[in-house]
């Protein structure tokens, strides 16, 4: 474990993160954003983590264009974001409201 991470969300752990899939959702209240698959990149503050959002529909190519269906996993780039603990949950918790 990274010595800077407090263990609530260990580096590289699978999580779900609140993240908008489109501009309409981005304008909605954050509490209405969907839970999407992701992984913890690192802890970056007392209650803040860098998270990679691993939803294929958000993936892009190197040039920033949307990734077409069938693009090899190794060619996909996913967005990253900063979130506090209220906007992250362990992947095992996904069935909880």
88 band by pLDDT with thresholds 50, 70 and 90: very high
6 band by pLDDT with thresholds 50, 70 and 90: confident
pLDDT at 95 over 70: no
Task: Name the domain count of the chain.
Answer: 1
Residue 5 lies in a domain: no
Residue 1 lies in a domain: no
Structure tokens at 62: 């190197």
Residue 25 lies in a domain: yes
Residue 9 lies in a domain: no
Residue 59 lies in a domain: yes
| Residue 87 CB neighbours (<10 A) | 20
- Could you tell me which residues come within 8 angstroms of residue 80 by beta carbon, excluding any fewer than 6 positions away? 41, 50, 51, 52, 53
At residue 75, the 3 state secondary structure works out as: helix
Flag whether the pTM goes above 0.75.
Answer: yes
* 97-to-21, 35, 89, 93 alpha-carbon distances in Å: 20, 11, 11, 9
* pLDDT, tens digit, 9 for 90 and up, residues 14-55: 999 999 999 999 999 999 999 999 999 999 999 999 999 999
């Amino acid at each position: 474990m990274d010595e800077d991470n407090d263990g609530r969300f260990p580096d590289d752990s699978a999580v779900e993160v609140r993240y908008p899939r489109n501009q309409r959702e981005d304008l909605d209240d954050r509490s209405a954003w969907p839970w999407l698959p992701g992984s913890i990149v690192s802890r970056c503050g007392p209650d803040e983590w860098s998270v990679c959002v691993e939803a294929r529909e958000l993936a892009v190519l190197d040039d920033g264009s949307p990734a077409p269906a069938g693009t090899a996993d190794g060619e996909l780039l996913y967005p990253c974001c900063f979130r506090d603990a209220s906007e992250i949950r362990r992947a095992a918790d996904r069935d909880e409201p």
